Chains A and B, each alone.
Chain A
Amino acid sequence: MGAKIGSEKLGNLYSGGPVRKRREWRGLKDTIYDFFRWLGIMLMLGKFIVRPRNLKAMFRYRWMSNYLFVPMMIDRHTVGLRGEQLRIAHAEYDLVAKDVAQLLGDCFRADKRCGNDKKFSKKIVILDENEMFTIMCGFPNLKCVSWETAACYVSVLLNGASMTHYLDVVQQMGLPGDVCPMPAAEAGIVIDDDAPIYGACAVQCNTTCDGSLMGNGVMSRFYERNGIPCFQIAAPLRHTEDGVQDYAAQEIRNAIKFIEDNTGEKWNWDAYFKNIKRFNAENKHRFGWMEMSRTKYPQVFGANLALYAETTYMAVAGRAPAFLKADEKITKLAEKAYKKQNLVVKEHRHRAIIWGVQAQYYTDFLPWLQNCWGILPLVDMLSLVYFEKCSENDKDQAIYDIAKLYQEMIMRNRTHGGYEVLLDDLWRFVEYYNADMVILWEHISCKALDGMHGLFEERAREHGVKLVWVNHDLMDPRVVKRQAIRDDVNRYMRSVLREEPLDPTLENIDDEKSY
């Protein structure tokens, strides 16, 4: 127990109940730092709840109770970290938490059932949770509020079991249990009448999969019944082909026009280019961190990269200056740590590419990988998005850029577009990042990934890469428990590689009830 990396036996912190036995001891300096950041989050939570409309929402919406677990969620993702690494993680998560608090605040201010601020509501465009928010970069006077992000996406990060009720609701309605739980849960929220009602209009998109596309039908009916006009961007699936780009660009033009018609606002090119410059700068930072992961001393990687990049790239999309500031801070910290040749865990045994779709109820699996087995999750599939720079002054090209971003949004850029982007690209990244292992999330309801199962195995053998399948069901921890996820790795490490864990106390932990 102390400032030294790996000095704490982390498995001993689990009590078998909802909270851990005690906070992690990281040495005096880091423990104090971590404690005050924790305190900051508690204060933010307190400030949020004292607002009457937010308090009302806390009792109105079942999913709102999950937000009480924000501090625990951050603790789970900072476990085992010290020094610069700890500060990088807090720079990321604390800002994301603040951003989500803002999202919730806007949501309940406009919501008919809570704040009911009609004037404010008329300035809101609703987007899907898994959709690029870039289309809002040219509407500086409008707010973009995704209730799906608040109710579903973030809720599961905070409490893995938070969507099981809604999954039961939608399955009771007749939806089979084998479809992707994310759109299914969102449909369940609507059917359960647990979605906030607000907004001037909504813009949906066929995001990652057939399930997501089909879930939109349920949502659009909900919007229609509440007098909210809805537009669907049908972005092309074969996004690598030139022949579909004109169509994709026209979809974006149509969507912009739809927003203009329904809000009275006009698309503002100055605002767009200002935001997109920031977006490009943010991406530059992300590429820099990922380049660092090619070396022996990666600094920004794993869950910290995945969750932060998702927020910055997709939901913020250059619209919030605070994220660029945070990026600059993270880069400075990472460079400092890199110069010192800091290790994140006491021994880097394997370098892994994380491919497939993460278990949303167990995003802290990646910290577990590094702490328990010394497997460094260098980069993940969801962070490997769009490497090109968007135009910062050409209006015609800009429409094509937005269209491309919509086609190649997170996850969609791999689940659609043919086997080349899902299967072939993986081995290119393995080589590029000098990885010796692939942790392949097998989200059992993700048909796009399941459909390549056999060929992943064959290619892994051809390339001589260690391939570890890790099964999960995205938002339903009842189907594959967290320990079952860990056991997929434990079994491989012990029976195939004959290795001993770095921290044996983490091999089997009783965290089923823990937040």
Chain B
Amino acid sequence: MKDLKHLYYFEHLLDDANNELVRKAQEEGRKCVGSVCYQVPEPLINLGNVFGVRLRAPKTGSLEMGTYYMTSFLCEFSRALLERALEGGYQFLDCILAPDGCTMINRCVENMELLKINEKPDFFYQYLEVPMKDDLNALNLYIGQCKEKVLKPLHDKFGVDISDEALRKSVEEHNKICRLITEIGNYRKEDNPRITGYEFHIICMCTYVAPHDMLIQKLEETLEELKTRKPDDNFHKKYRARVCLVGSEVDDVDMVKLIEESGAYVAADRFCFGSLPGREEIILNDEEDVLTQICRHYMHSTMCPRHMNLPKWKRRKEFVNEIAKEYKCDGIIYEQMKFCDPWAYERMTGTYVMREEYGYPVLSVDRPYAVGTSGQLKTRVQAFVESVEIKKIQQGGKK
């Protein structure tokens, strides 16, 4: 396929946490809010003169300092973030809002605070208590926390308008991005898709790490370009299986690339920094206040394994089944960043349920934060693709 016009631009944006658009927005006097989890609702931090970025540590090399402070048993994502923070890579931030989500990320941000990684005088940290169940009591908690730990400090410190009207406008802007990403992502459902999983991953990831308004034009142009883009004729030769990638944080640009180079087309992205969930619209009604609706949306939609009640436990598996069907996946890859406790359990139970109860071929792998050109992972994916192919042939024979 012909290269997408803006792909290089999008790739370049992901080279650095303090990317071109972040710098530009700050030059305009806007404040940058760092967050570390899906559960800090984006419309609340892309509000007025503030914009949010999900923290990443692109081009991570040594993790020595992160490992000294947090030992080698914490996930590499948390260590990489701390390492980058200690190197001075997050000096551009104006605050960090961290949910007490998983223990490791929480500890990572606490280390940043105690080690005073940011020298800005008004820099502040907030830790949110976020729901671990999907019910009314948890919703009330979430609303209270978002008010006290997100909106109030943003208003007090940066003078952000936190009125219902302002929130409604922010949701509209958020939805605009979501619609664009969803439309772009829908092309992955085609039998012969006109966008690769890698390209989509890059485009989608940019929307988590840069001011939304500055991305819209390029996203619109990309969508227009895709409408007439001619897909490759050799799709089925290049990709011998379509997979749904499920798991923890994937902000490494090489991860999806590696899977696709090994012969599996990543049709659906069910991971943190992915679009399923994350880039669905928030539909507002006029009866309730906007904050309640935003919180409910995030509480319902999150597929975080730390939601502990059984209905949610089952829902996560059902959701994987639904998107696997919708995106015509032949198999599922469950990935877990090494040392991640929540995804360790979710990977185990998900692998079992999807394989035994839903009948999918499943590849279950753990991986480092930065996969690079991991031969080990490539071999696993290649073997999986072969096994899916064999199954397809066998099923064809039976018919």
Residues of A within 8 A of B (CB): 170, 173-176, 178-180, 187, 204, 206, 209-211, 213-218, 220-221, 224, 230, 232, 234, 236-238, 241, 243-244, 246-247, 250-251, 254, 415-416, 418-419, 423, 442, 444-445, 447-448, 450-455
Separation in Å of the A228 CB from the closest CB of chain B? Answer: 11
Q: Are A210 and B348 in contact (CB under 8 A)?
A: no
* B residues 33-88 touching A (CB-CB < 8 Å): 68-71, 73-74, 78
Task: Known A-B contacts: A210-B103, A244-B141, A451-B103. Give 9 more (CB < 8 A).
Answer: A179-B341, A211-B341, A213-B306, A216-B308, A218-B349, A244-B145, A447-B104, A452-B70, A452-B111
Indicate which residue in B73, B127, B308 contacts A206 across the interface (CB closer than 8 Å).
Answer: B308
Name the residue in B69, B305, B366 with the highest tally of chain A Cβ atoms < 10 Å from its Cβ. B69
Q: Are A174 and B348 in contact (CB under 8 A)?
A: yes
Among the stretches B132-140, B194-202, B224-232, B290-298, the one at the interface with A is B132-140
Indicate which residue in A215, A218, A454 contacts B70 across the interface (CB closer than 8 Å).
Answer: A454
Q: Are B133 and A234 in contact (CB under 8 A)?
A: yes
The 8 A-B pairs at the shortest CB distance, nearest first, are namely: A451-B107, A454-B69, A214-B345, A210-B341, A234-B132, A247-B141, A450-B71, A174-B348
B144 proximity list for chain A (CB < 8 A)? 243, 247
Known: A214-B341, A234-B133. A451 touches B74 (CB 8 A): yes
Indicate which residue in B73, B104, B137, B310 contacts A250 across the interface (CB closer than 8 Å).
Answer: B137
A204 proximity list for chain B (CB < 8 A)? 308
Interface residues on B, range: 35 or more
Asked if B338 is at the interface (CB within 8 A of a chain A CB), the reply is yes
A447 proximity list for chain B (CB < 8 A)? 73-74, 103-104, 107, 339, 341
* B residues 108-139 touching A (CB-CB < 8 Å): 108, 110-111, 113-115, 127, 129, 131-133, 137-138
- Contact residues of A: prevailing secondary structure: helix
Asked if B347 is at the interface (CB within 8 A of a chain A CB), the reply is yes
Asked if B92 is at the interface (CB within 8 A of a chain A CB), the reply is no
In the docked arrangement, what's the CA distance between A442 and B73, Å?
A: 11
Separation in Å of the A314 CB from the closest CB of chain B? Answer: 20
A174 proximity list for chain B (CB < 8 A)? 347-348, 351-352, 364
Can you list 18 pairs linking A and B with CB atoms under 8 Å apart? A174-B351, A174-B352, A176-B344, A176-B366, A179-B345, A209-B341, A210-B103, A211-B344, A213-B132, A214-B305, A214-B345, A234-B138, A236-B129, A243-B129, A243-B145, A247-B140, A247-B144, A445-B73
A230 proximity list for chain B (CB < 8 A)? 310
In the docked arrangement, what's the CA distance between A30 and B134, Å?
A: 58
In the docked arrangement, what's the CA distance between A454 and B72, Å?
A: 12
A241 proximity list for chain B (CB < 8 A)? 129
In the docked arrangement, what's the CA distance between A214 and B309, Å?
A: 10
Separation in Å of the A458 CB from the closest CB of chain B? Answer: 9
In the docked arrangement, what's the CA distance between A419 and B148, Å?
A: 20
Q: Are A453 and B345 in contact (CB under 8 A)?
A: no
Q: Are A418 and B127 in contact (CB under 8 A)?
A: yes
Q: Are B339 and A178 in contact (CB under 8 A)?
A: yes
Q: Are A448 and B364 in contact (CB under 8 A)?
A: no
Asked if B100 is at the interface (CB within 8 A of a chain A CB), the reply is yes
Asked if B102 is at the interface (CB within 8 A of a chain A CB), the reply is yes
Separation in Å of the A196 CB from the closest CB of chain B? Answer: 20
Separation in Å of the B244 CB from the closest CB of chain A? Answer: 18
In the docked arrangement, what's the CA distance between A251 and B136, Å?
A: 11
Q: Are A224 and B107 in contact (CB under 8 A)?
A: no
Binary A-proximity of B336-364 (CB < 8 A = 1, otherwise 0): 10110110111111011000000000001
Binary A-proximity of B359-399 (CB < 8 A = 1, otherwise 0): 00000101000000000000000000000000000000000
In the docked arrangement, what's the CA distance between A251 and B352, Å?
A: 31
Q: Are A232 and B114 in contact (CB under 8 A)?
A: no
Separation in Å of the B329 CB from the closest CB of chain A? Answer: 20
Asked if B313 is at the interface (CB within 8 A of a chain A CB), the reply is yes
B70 proximity list for chain A (CB < 8 A)? 450-454
Known: A178-B339, A450-B73. A210 touches B107 (CB 8 A): no
Q: Are B341 and A238 in contact (CB under 8 A)?
A: no
In the docked arrangement, what's the CA distance between A149 and B29, Å?
A: 57
A243 proximity list for chain B (CB < 8 A)? 129, 144-145, 148
A236 proximity list for chain B (CB < 8 A)? 129, 141
In the docked arrangement, what's the CA distance between A321 and B178, Å?
A: 61
Q: Are A210 and B310 in contact (CB under 8 A)?
A: no
In the docked arrangement, what's the CA distance between A485 and B108, Å?
A: 27
A234 proximity list for chain B (CB < 8 A)? 131-133, 138, 308-309
A214 proximity list for chain B (CB < 8 A)? 305-306, 308, 341-342, 344-346
A178 proximity list for chain B (CB < 8 A)? 73, 338-339, 344
Q: Are A419 and B69 in contact (CB under 8 A)?
A: no
In the docked arrangement, what's the CA distance between A180 and B71, Å?
A: 15
Separation in Å of the B152 CB from the closest CB of chain A? Answer: 11
Q: Are B310 and A221 in contact (CB under 8 A)?
A: yes
B344 proximity list for chain A (CB < 8 A)? 175-176, 178-179, 211, 214
B352 proximity list for chain A (CB < 8 A)? 173-174
B73's closest neighbor in chain A, by CB?
A450
Separation in Å of the B100 CB from the closest CB of chain A? Answer: 5
Known: A178-B73, A214-B344. A448 touches B308 (CB 8 A): no
B71 proximity list for chain A (CB < 8 A)? 442, 444, 450-451, 453
In the docked arrangement, what's the CA distance between A138 and B78, Å?
A: 43
B104 proximity list for chain A (CB < 8 A)? 210, 447, 451
A444 proximity list for chain B (CB < 8 A)? 71, 73
B114 proximity list for chain A (CB < 8 A)? 419, 423, 455
B348 proximity list for chain A (CB < 8 A)? 170, 173-175
Separation in Å of the A74 CB from the closest CB of chain B? Answer: 34
Q: Are A206 and B141 in contact (CB under 8 A)?
A: no
A244's closest neighbor in chain B, by CB?
B129
A452's closest neighbor in chain B, by CB?
B107
Indicate which residue in B78, B138, B310, B342 contacts A220 across the interface (CB closer than 8 Å).
Answer: B310
A187's closest neighbor in chain B, by CB?
B345
B133 proximity list for chain A (CB < 8 A)? 232, 234
Name the residue in A170, A213, A241, A452 with the highest tally of chain B Cβ atoms < 10 Å from its Cβ. A213
Separation in Å of the B74 CB from the closest CB of chain A? Answer: 6
